[in-house]
Amino acid sequence: MEREAAVPHVLIFPFPAQGHMNSMLKLAELLCPADMYITFLNSDHNHQRLLRFTDAEARFSHWPKFRFESITDGLPDDGHCSAESTFEMFNTLESITRPLFRDLVISLSHPQQEIPPLSCIIADGIIPFVIDVAEELNIPIISFRTISACSFWAYFCIPKLIAAGELPFQGDMDVPIKSVPGMEGFLRRRDLPSFCRAEELNDHVFQTVLSATQETTRASALILNSFEDLEGPILSEIRSRLPKLYAIGPLHAHSKTRLLEQSLLSSLSANSLWEVDRSCMKWLDSQPPKSVVYVSFGSLAVVGRETLLEFWYGLVRSGIPFLWVVRSDSVTGGNVNEEIPGELVEATTERGCLVGWAPQEEVLAHPAVGGFLTHSGWNSTLESIYTGVPMICWPYFADQQINSRFVSEVWRVGVDMKDTCDRGTVEKMVKEVMERREELMGSVDRLAKLARSCVSQGGSSRSNMDRLIKDIRSMARSSPKLHPKKK
Protein backbone atom coordinates (compact mmCIF):
# COMPACT_ATOMS: atom_id res chain seq x y z
CA MET A 1 0.00 0.00 0.00
CA GLU A 2 2.91 2.35 0.76
CA ARG A 3 4.40 1.68 -2.68
CA GLU A 4 1.08 2.46 -4.39
CA ALA A 5 0.64 5.66 -2.36
CA ALA A 6 3.95 6.93 -3.80
CA VAL A 7 2.74 6.57 -7.41
CA PRO A 8 2.26 10.10 -8.73
CA HIS A 9 -1.15 11.39 -9.77
CA VAL A 10 -0.82 14.43 -12.04
CA LEU A 11 -3.62 16.73 -13.18
CA ILE A 12 -2.85 18.38 -16.55
CA PHE A 13 -4.95 21.43 -17.41
CA PRO A 14 -4.41 23.30 -20.72
CA PHE A 15 -5.92 26.61 -21.74
CA PRO A 16 -8.91 25.70 -23.98
CA ALA A 17 -7.34 26.31 -27.39
CA GLN A 18 -6.03 23.97 -30.10
CA GLY A 19 -2.32 24.75 -29.79
CA HIS A 20 -2.32 24.68 -25.99
CA MET A 21 -4.25 21.42 -25.76
CA ASN A 22 -2.14 19.73 -28.44
CA SER A 23 1.22 20.35 -26.81
CA MET A 24 -0.04 19.40 -23.35
CA LEU A 25 -1.46 16.14 -24.69
CA LYS A 26 2.01 15.46 -26.09
CA LEU A 27 3.36 15.99 -22.59
CA ALA A 28 0.79 13.50 -21.29
CA GLU A 29 2.06 10.98 -23.86
CA LEU A 30 5.53 11.35 -22.37
CA LEU A 31 4.36 11.00 -18.78
CA CYS A 32 2.05 7.99 -19.26
CA PRO A 33 4.82 5.41 -19.92
CA ALA A 34 6.50 6.58 -16.69
CA ASP A 35 3.85 4.65 -14.76
CA MET A 36 1.96 7.52 -13.19
CA TYR A 37 -1.70 8.40 -13.00
CA ILE A 38 -2.67 11.20 -15.35
CA THR A 39 -5.94 13.13 -15.31
CA PHE A 40 -6.18 15.34 -18.40
CA LEU A 41 -8.67 18.15 -17.90
CA ASN A 42 -10.11 19.47 -21.16
CA SER A 43 -12.89 21.97 -21.69
CA ASP A 44 -16.22 20.30 -22.47
CA HIS A 45 -16.26 21.89 -25.93
CA ASN A 46 -12.73 20.82 -26.87
CA HIS A 47 -13.15 17.35 -25.44
CA GLN A 48 -16.19 16.65 -27.58
CA ARG A 49 -14.37 17.88 -30.69
CA LEU A 50 -11.30 15.84 -29.80
CA LEU A 51 -13.38 12.66 -29.52
CA ARG A 52 -15.24 13.51 -32.73
CA PHE A 53 -12.25 14.19 -34.98
CA THR A 54 -9.44 12.03 -33.55
CA ASP A 55 -8.70 8.62 -32.09
CA ALA A 56 -7.33 10.17 -28.88
CA GLU A 57 -9.56 8.05 -26.66
CA ALA A 58 -8.33 4.83 -28.27
CA ARG A 59 -4.69 5.94 -28.23
CA PHE A 60 -4.70 6.84 -24.57
CA SER A 61 -6.54 3.64 -23.64
CA HIS A 62 -3.11 1.94 -23.90
CA TRP A 63 -2.41 3.46 -20.49
CA PRO A 64 -4.94 2.31 -17.87
CA LYS A 65 -3.73 5.01 -15.45
CA PHE A 66 -4.74 7.79 -17.86
CA ARG A 67 -8.19 9.34 -17.94
CA PHE A 68 -9.91 12.34 -19.49
CA GLU A 69 -12.03 14.77 -17.48
CA SER A 70 -13.77 17.85 -18.81
CA ILE A 71 -15.05 21.11 -17.45
CA THR A 72 -16.91 24.08 -18.93
CA ASP A 73 -14.89 27.04 -20.21
CA GLY A 74 -17.93 29.25 -19.78
CA LEU A 75 -18.50 30.05 -23.46
CA PRO A 76 -21.49 28.87 -25.51
CA ASP A 77 -20.79 26.07 -28.00
CA ASP A 78 -20.86 28.46 -30.95
CA GLY A 79 -18.52 30.97 -29.30
CA HIS A 80 -15.11 29.35 -29.79
CA CYS A 81 -14.09 30.32 -33.30
CA SER A 82 -11.81 33.35 -33.10
CA ALA A 83 -9.05 35.14 -31.25
CA GLU A 84 -11.70 37.45 -29.80
CA SER A 85 -13.46 34.50 -28.16
CA THR A 86 -10.10 33.47 -26.72
CA PHE A 87 -9.82 36.87 -25.03
CA GLU A 88 -13.37 36.53 -23.70
CA MET A 89 -12.41 33.16 -22.23
CA PHE A 90 -10.10 34.87 -19.75
CA ASN A 91 -13.24 36.30 -18.14
CA THR A 92 -15.39 33.16 -18.24
CA LEU A 93 -12.60 30.94 -16.92
CA GLU A 94 -12.25 33.20 -13.90
CA SER A 95 -15.96 33.66 -13.19
CA ILE A 96 -17.40 30.26 -14.17
CA THR A 97 -14.60 27.66 -14.41
CA ARG A 98 -12.59 28.60 -11.34
CA PRO A 99 -15.00 27.33 -8.62
CA LEU A 100 -15.66 24.14 -10.60
CA PHE A 101 -11.92 23.57 -10.97
CA ARG A 102 -11.43 24.03 -7.23
CA ASP A 103 -14.13 21.46 -6.48
CA LEU A 104 -12.52 19.00 -8.89
CA VAL A 105 -9.08 19.41 -7.31
CA ILE A 106 -10.58 18.79 -3.88
CA SER A 107 -12.29 15.61 -5.10
CA LEU A 108 -9.10 14.34 -6.74
CA SER A 109 -7.13 15.01 -3.58
CA HIS A 110 -8.79 12.07 -1.83
CA PRO A 111 -8.16 8.40 -2.78
CA GLN A 112 -10.75 7.05 -5.21
CA GLN A 113 -11.12 3.39 -6.25
CA GLU A 114 -7.41 2.53 -6.37
CA ILE A 115 -6.47 5.95 -7.77
CA PRO A 116 -4.09 7.76 -5.42
CA PRO A 117 -4.75 11.33 -4.31
CA LEU A 118 -3.56 14.17 -6.49
CA SER A 119 0.14 14.87 -5.99
CA CYS A 120 0.84 17.56 -8.59
CA ILE A 121 -0.87 19.95 -11.03
CA ILE A 122 0.69 20.86 -14.38
CA ALA A 123 -1.35 23.79 -15.59
CA ASP A 124 -1.21 26.18 -18.49
CA GLY A 125 0.53 29.27 -17.21
CA ILE A 126 -1.89 31.57 -19.00
CA ILE A 127 -4.82 30.49 -16.80
CA PRO A 128 -4.69 33.11 -14.06
CA PHE A 129 -6.39 31.37 -11.16
CA VAL A 130 -4.76 27.93 -11.10
CA ILE A 131 -1.80 28.88 -8.92
CA ASP A 132 -4.19 30.52 -6.44
CA VAL A 133 -6.25 27.33 -6.16
CA ALA A 134 -3.16 25.12 -5.91
CA GLU A 135 -1.69 27.25 -3.11
CA GLU A 136 -4.99 27.37 -1.24
CA LEU A 137 -5.33 23.58 -1.38
CA ASN A 138 -1.65 22.90 -0.70
CA ILE A 139 -1.04 21.07 -4.01
CA PRO A 140 2.35 21.44 -5.76
CA ILE A 141 2.00 23.15 -9.14
CA ILE A 142 4.20 23.31 -12.23
CA SER A 143 3.50 25.98 -14.82
CA PHE A 144 3.54 25.03 -18.51
CA ARG A 145 3.81 27.83 -21.06
CA THR A 146 3.06 26.61 -24.59
CA ILE A 147 4.78 29.61 -26.18
CA SER A 148 8.44 30.04 -27.16
CA ALA A 149 11.08 30.92 -24.58
CA CYS A 150 11.73 34.19 -26.40
CA SER A 151 8.08 35.14 -26.20
CA PHE A 152 7.76 34.17 -22.55
CA TRP A 153 10.85 36.22 -21.72
CA ALA A 154 9.46 39.25 -23.56
CA TYR A 155 6.21 38.93 -21.58
CA PHE A 156 8.21 38.56 -18.37
CA CYS A 157 10.18 41.74 -19.10
CA ILE A 158 7.07 43.92 -19.58
CA PRO A 159 7.50 45.62 -16.15
CA LYS A 160 11.03 46.55 -17.20
CA LEU A 161 9.71 47.90 -20.52
CA ILE A 162 7.15 50.02 -18.68
CA ALA A 163 9.75 51.33 -16.22
CA ALA A 164 12.04 52.28 -19.12
CA GLY A 165 9.24 54.16 -20.88
CA GLU A 166 9.21 51.73 -23.82
CA LEU A 167 5.57 50.81 -23.13
CA PRO A 168 3.03 51.97 -24.07
CA PHE A 169 4.08 53.27 -27.48
CA GLN A 170 2.59 54.94 -30.52
CA GLY A 171 3.97 55.90 -33.91
CA ASP A 172 7.07 54.41 -35.52
CA MET A 173 6.91 50.61 -35.17
CA ASP A 174 10.57 50.17 -36.12
CA VAL A 175 11.97 51.89 -33.04
CA PRO A 176 14.46 49.51 -31.34
CA ILE A 177 13.52 47.93 -28.01
CA LYS A 178 16.34 47.96 -25.43
CA SER A 179 14.85 46.55 -22.24
CA VAL A 180 14.53 42.84 -23.05
CA PRO A 181 17.91 41.35 -22.07
CA GLY A 182 19.36 39.16 -24.80
CA MET A 183 17.36 40.82 -27.58
CA GLU A 184 18.78 44.35 -27.59
CA GLY A 185 20.37 44.06 -31.02
CA PHE A 186 17.38 43.15 -33.17
CA LEU A 187 14.05 43.63 -31.38
CA ARG A 188 11.72 46.40 -32.58
CA ARG A 189 8.37 47.62 -31.35
CA ARG A 190 6.58 45.65 -34.07
CA ASP A 191 8.31 42.44 -32.90
CA LEU A 192 6.95 42.55 -29.36
CA PRO A 193 4.01 40.22 -28.61
CA SER A 194 0.84 41.77 -30.03
CA PHE A 195 -0.63 42.51 -26.59
CA CYS A 196 2.14 45.10 -26.17
CA ARG A 197 0.48 47.20 -28.87
CA ALA A 198 -2.25 48.20 -26.43
CA GLU A 199 -2.42 52.00 -26.24
CA GLU A 200 -3.37 51.93 -22.57
CA LEU A 201 -1.57 49.95 -19.87
CA ASN A 202 -4.89 49.15 -18.19
CA ASP A 203 -6.05 47.18 -21.27
CA HIS A 204 -7.71 44.03 -19.90
CA VAL A 205 -5.99 41.46 -22.12
CA PHE A 206 -2.60 43.14 -21.64
CA GLN A 207 -3.01 43.10 -17.86
CA THR A 208 -4.20 39.47 -17.85
CA VAL A 209 -1.18 38.25 -19.80
CA LEU A 210 1.19 40.41 -17.75
CA SER A 211 -0.23 39.17 -14.45
CA ALA A 212 -0.26 35.49 -15.47
CA THR A 213 3.36 35.65 -16.59
CA GLN A 214 4.58 37.34 -13.42
CA GLU A 215 2.68 34.76 -11.34
CA THR A 216 4.87 32.03 -12.81
CA THR A 217 7.44 32.76 -10.10
CA ARG A 218 4.96 31.30 -7.57
CA ALA A 219 4.94 27.88 -9.28
CA SER A 220 7.33 25.09 -8.29
CA ALA A 221 8.82 25.02 -11.79
CA LEU A 222 8.30 26.01 -15.42
CA ILE A 223 7.98 23.73 -18.47
CA LEU A 224 8.65 25.12 -21.96
CA ASN A 225 8.12 23.44 -25.31
CA SER A 226 11.56 24.39 -26.60
CA PHE A 227 15.11 23.02 -26.68
CA GLU A 228 18.48 24.21 -25.50
CA ASP A 229 20.16 24.36 -28.92
CA LEU A 230 17.39 26.59 -30.29
CA GLU A 231 16.80 29.07 -27.48
CA GLY A 232 19.74 28.47 -25.14
CA PRO A 233 20.67 32.14 -24.55
CA ILE A 234 17.06 33.10 -23.77
CA LEU A 235 16.56 30.03 -21.58
CA SER A 236 19.59 31.21 -19.59
CA GLU A 237 17.96 34.62 -19.14
CA ILE A 238 14.77 32.97 -17.87
CA ARG A 239 16.72 30.73 -15.49
CA SER A 240 18.19 33.85 -13.88
CA ARG A 241 14.67 34.46 -12.54
CA LEU A 242 13.12 30.97 -12.70
CA PRO A 243 15.93 28.48 -12.07
CA LYS A 244 13.78 25.33 -12.12
CA LEU A 245 13.06 25.18 -15.84
CA TYR A 246 12.47 22.14 -18.05
CA ALA A 247 12.94 22.69 -21.80
CA ILE A 248 11.53 19.45 -23.26
CA GLY A 249 10.62 20.28 -26.86
CA PRO A 250 9.89 19.93 -29.65
CA LEU A 251 7.11 18.01 -27.89
CA HIS A 252 5.49 16.67 -31.07
CA ALA A 253 8.79 14.99 -31.98
CA HIS A 254 9.77 14.08 -28.44
CA SER A 255 6.58 12.13 -27.79
CA LYS A 256 6.72 10.44 -31.19
CA THR A 257 10.36 9.40 -30.69
CA ARG A 258 9.72 7.83 -27.32
CA LEU A 259 6.55 6.07 -28.43
CA LEU A 260 8.39 4.61 -31.43
CA GLU A 261 11.15 3.34 -29.15
CA GLN A 262 8.53 1.58 -27.03
CA SER A 263 6.56 0.31 -30.06
CA LEU A 264 3.55 2.28 -28.82
CA LEU A 265 3.01 4.61 -31.78
CA SER A 266 -0.22 3.13 -33.09
CA SER A 267 -1.42 5.77 -35.55
CA LEU A 268 -0.67 9.05 -37.28
CA SER A 269 -3.63 10.79 -35.68
CA ALA A 270 -3.00 14.30 -34.40
CA ASN A 271 -4.82 15.99 -31.54
CA SER A 272 -6.98 18.06 -33.86
CA LEU A 273 -10.17 19.93 -33.05
CA TRP A 274 -10.97 20.06 -36.77
CA GLU A 275 -11.89 17.38 -39.25
CA VAL A 276 -8.77 16.54 -41.24
CA ASP A 277 -9.05 16.39 -45.04
CA ARG A 278 -6.49 13.81 -46.13
CA SER A 279 -7.17 14.28 -49.84
CA CYS A 280 -4.36 16.84 -49.85
CA MET A 281 -1.81 14.06 -49.26
CA LYS A 282 -2.73 12.44 -52.56
CA TRP A 283 -2.43 15.84 -54.25
CA LEU A 284 1.04 16.30 -52.73
CA ASP A 285 2.06 12.89 -54.04
CA SER A 286 1.54 14.21 -57.57
CA GLN A 287 3.84 17.23 -57.11
CA PRO A 288 7.61 17.42 -57.78
CA PRO A 289 10.02 17.45 -54.80
CA LYS A 290 10.27 20.75 -52.88
CA SER A 291 7.92 22.49 -55.31
CA VAL A 292 4.92 23.30 -53.08
CA VAL A 293 4.38 26.10 -50.59
CA TYR A 294 2.13 25.01 -47.74
CA VAL A 295 -0.12 27.77 -46.33
CA SER A 296 -1.85 27.66 -42.96
CA PHE A 297 -2.71 30.36 -40.43
CA GLY A 298 -3.67 28.01 -37.62
CA SER A 299 -6.90 27.47 -35.74
CA LEU A 300 -7.76 31.01 -34.59
CA ALA A 301 -6.75 33.56 -37.24
CA VAL A 302 -9.70 35.27 -38.91
CA VAL A 303 -9.21 37.65 -41.84
CA GLY A 304 -11.41 39.94 -43.88
CA ARG A 305 -12.41 39.06 -47.43
CA GLU A 306 -10.01 41.62 -48.93
CA THR A 307 -7.09 40.17 -46.99
CA LEU A 308 -8.01 36.67 -48.13
CA LEU A 309 -8.02 37.82 -51.76
CA GLU A 310 -4.66 39.58 -51.38
CA PHE A 311 -3.10 36.33 -50.17
CA TRP A 312 -4.84 34.40 -52.92
CA TYR A 313 -3.67 36.72 -55.70
CA GLY A 314 -0.15 36.72 -54.28
CA LEU A 315 -0.01 32.92 -54.22
CA VAL A 316 -1.39 32.61 -57.74
CA ARG A 317 0.93 35.25 -59.18
CA SER A 318 3.98 33.63 -57.59
CA GLY A 319 3.54 30.71 -59.99
CA ILE A 320 4.36 28.30 -57.15
CA PRO A 321 2.04 25.31 -56.53
CA PHE A 322 0.31 25.78 -53.17
CA LEU A 323 -1.60 23.76 -50.60
CA TRP A 324 -3.73 26.15 -48.54
CA VAL A 325 -5.67 25.44 -45.35
CA VAL A 326 -8.73 27.72 -45.34
CA ARG A 327 -11.04 27.00 -42.42
CA SER A 328 -14.75 27.48 -43.02
CA ASP A 329 -14.82 30.12 -40.27
CA SER A 330 -11.60 31.91 -41.21
CA VAL A 331 -13.20 34.79 -43.14
CA THR A 332 -15.22 37.49 -41.41
CA GLY A 333 -18.66 38.29 -42.72
CA GLY A 334 -19.10 35.67 -45.40
CA ASN A 335 -18.48 32.29 -46.96
CA VAL A 336 -14.92 31.46 -48.04
CA ASN A 337 -16.06 30.42 -51.51
CA GLU A 338 -18.37 33.38 -52.10
CA GLU A 339 -17.81 35.30 -55.37
CA ILE A 340 -14.21 34.28 -56.00
CA PRO A 341 -12.79 35.87 -59.20
CA GLY A 342 -12.64 33.39 -62.05
CA GLU A 343 -8.90 33.84 -62.61
CA LEU A 344 -8.22 32.68 -59.05
CA VAL A 345 -10.49 29.67 -59.38
CA GLU A 346 -8.84 28.69 -62.67
CA ALA A 347 -5.29 29.09 -61.36
CA THR A 348 -6.10 27.17 -58.17
CA THR A 349 -7.56 24.33 -60.20
CA GLU A 350 -4.33 24.19 -62.22
CA ARG A 351 -1.73 24.30 -59.46
CA GLY A 352 -3.42 24.67 -56.09
CA CYS A 353 -5.26 22.65 -53.48
CA LEU A 354 -7.57 24.12 -50.80
CA VAL A 355 -8.68 22.14 -47.76
CA GLY A 356 -10.51 22.99 -44.55
CA TRP A 357 -7.87 21.36 -42.33
CA ALA A 358 -4.73 19.34 -43.06
CA PRO A 359 -2.60 16.77 -41.20
CA GLN A 360 0.12 19.38 -40.74
CA GLU A 361 2.95 17.24 -39.37
CA GLU A 362 2.59 14.87 -42.31
CA VAL A 363 2.29 17.73 -44.79
CA LEU A 364 5.49 19.40 -43.61
CA ALA A 365 7.33 16.09 -43.76
CA HIS A 366 6.17 15.40 -47.33
CA PRO A 367 8.93 15.52 -49.98
CA ALA A 368 6.86 17.87 -52.19
CA VAL A 369 6.76 20.68 -49.61
CA GLY A 370 9.48 23.28 -50.00
CA GLY A 371 8.16 26.24 -47.97
CA PHE A 372 5.62 27.14 -45.30
CA LEU A 373 3.58 30.38 -45.26
CA THR A 374 2.62 30.42 -41.60
CA HIS A 375 1.05 32.52 -38.84
CA SER A 376 4.13 31.73 -36.74
CA GLY A 377 2.28 29.88 -34.02
CA TRP A 378 4.81 28.13 -31.82
CA ASN A 379 3.71 24.57 -32.61
CA SER A 380 3.82 25.33 -36.34
CA THR A 381 7.24 26.96 -36.01
CA LEU A 382 8.69 23.95 -34.19
CA GLU A 383 7.14 21.51 -36.66
CA SER A 384 8.64 23.46 -39.56
CA ILE A 385 12.08 23.60 -37.94
CA TYR A 386 12.00 19.88 -37.17
CA THR A 387 11.17 18.92 -40.75
CA GLY A 388 13.63 21.41 -42.24
CA VAL A 389 11.09 23.57 -44.11
CA PRO A 390 11.88 27.31 -44.45
CA MET A 391 9.13 29.75 -43.49
CA ILE A 392 7.38 32.86 -44.75
CA CYS A 393 5.97 34.41 -41.59
CA TRP A 394 2.75 36.41 -41.33
CA PRO A 395 2.13 36.55 -37.56
CA TYR A 396 -1.43 37.15 -36.43
CA PHE A 397 -1.38 37.84 -32.69
CA ALA A 398 0.08 37.08 -29.24
CA ASP A 399 3.51 35.38 -29.29
CA GLN A 400 3.57 35.09 -33.07
CA GLN A 401 5.12 38.52 -33.67
CA ILE A 402 8.28 37.71 -31.75
CA ASN A 403 8.49 34.15 -33.12
CA SER A 404 8.59 35.53 -36.65
CA ARG A 405 11.43 37.91 -35.79
CA PHE A 406 13.52 35.06 -34.41
CA VAL A 407 12.79 32.97 -37.53
CA SER A 408 14.13 35.66 -39.81
CA GLU A 409 16.83 37.47 -37.81
CA VAL A 410 18.16 34.99 -35.25
CA TRP A 411 17.69 31.48 -36.60
CA ARG A 412 17.65 32.66 -40.26
CA VAL A 413 15.30 29.93 -41.42
CA GLY A 414 12.79 32.14 -43.20
CA VAL A 415 11.50 35.64 -43.91
CA ASP A 416 9.16 37.90 -41.96
CA MET A 417 6.32 39.82 -43.62
CA LYS A 418 4.55 40.97 -40.45
CA ASP A 419 2.10 43.85 -40.72
CA THR A 420 1.81 43.53 -44.52
CA CYS A 421 -0.33 41.27 -46.67
CA ASP A 422 -0.69 42.91 -50.09
CA ARG A 423 -0.51 40.64 -53.09
CA GLY A 424 2.83 42.03 -54.28
CA THR A 425 4.55 41.31 -50.96
CA VAL A 426 3.04 37.82 -50.76
CA GLU A 427 4.20 37.04 -54.31
CA LYS A 428 7.68 38.42 -53.69
CA MET A 429 8.28 36.59 -50.40
CA VAL A 430 6.90 33.24 -51.57
CA LYS A 431 9.19 33.42 -54.59
CA GLU A 432 12.11 34.52 -52.44
CA VAL A 433 11.88 31.55 -50.09
CA MET A 434 11.16 28.97 -52.78
CA GLU A 435 13.89 30.27 -55.09
CA ARG A 436 16.45 30.87 -52.31
CA ARG A 437 15.91 27.51 -50.63
CA GLU A 438 19.54 26.48 -51.17
CA GLU A 439 20.75 29.62 -49.38
CA LEU A 440 18.42 29.02 -46.43
CA MET A 441 19.01 25.29 -46.20
CA GLY A 442 22.30 25.62 -44.31
CA SER A 443 20.57 27.13 -41.29
CA VAL A 444 17.44 25.03 -41.80
CA ASP A 445 19.30 21.72 -41.91
CA ARG A 446 21.47 22.64 -38.93
CA LEU A 447 18.47 23.39 -36.71
CA ALA A 448 16.58 20.32 -37.94
CA LYS A 449 19.52 18.10 -36.94
CA LEU A 450 19.75 19.77 -33.53
CA ALA A 451 16.00 19.32 -33.00
CA ARG A 452 16.27 15.61 -33.76
CA SER A 453 19.33 15.23 -31.55
CA CYS A 454 17.78 16.87 -28.50
CA VAL A 455 14.91 14.35 -28.30
CA SER A 456 17.15 11.33 -28.89
CA GLN A 457 19.04 9.32 -26.27
CA GLY A 458 21.41 11.66 -24.43
CA GLY A 459 19.77 14.79 -25.87
CA SER A 460 19.01 17.84 -23.73
CA SER A 461 15.22 17.59 -23.97
CA ARG A 462 15.37 13.87 -23.18
CA SER A 463 17.50 14.59 -20.09
CA ASN A 464 15.24 17.44 -18.99
CA MET A 465 12.18 15.19 -19.35
CA ASP A 466 13.79 12.50 -17.23
CA ARG A 467 14.56 15.14 -14.60
CA LEU A 468 10.93 16.33 -14.68
CA ILE A 469 9.66 12.77 -14.15
CA LYS A 470 12.06 12.29 -11.25
CA ASP A 471 10.92 15.53 -9.63
CA ILE A 472 7.23 14.62 -10.05
CA ARG A 473 7.92 11.30 -8.31
CA SER A 474 9.56 13.22 -5.49
CA MET A 475 6.43 15.36 -5.16
CA ALA A 476 4.32 12.20 -4.82
CA ARG A 477 6.50 10.91 -2.00
CA SER A 478 6.48 14.19 -0.10
CA SER A 479 3.04 15.51 -1.02
CA PRO A 480 1.22 16.74 2.11
CA LYS A 481 -2.39 15.99 2.86
CA LEU A 482 -5.05 18.40 1.68
CA HIS A 483 -5.39 21.29 4.07
CA PRO A 484 -7.32 24.13 2.44
CA LYS A 485 -6.26 27.50 3.76
CA LYS A 486 -8.92 29.49 5.52
CA LYS A 487 -10.29 32.36 3.47
Annotated active-site positions, please? 20, 124
| CA distance to 296, 385, 437, 438, 440, per residue, from 445 (Å) | 22, 8, 11, 10, 9
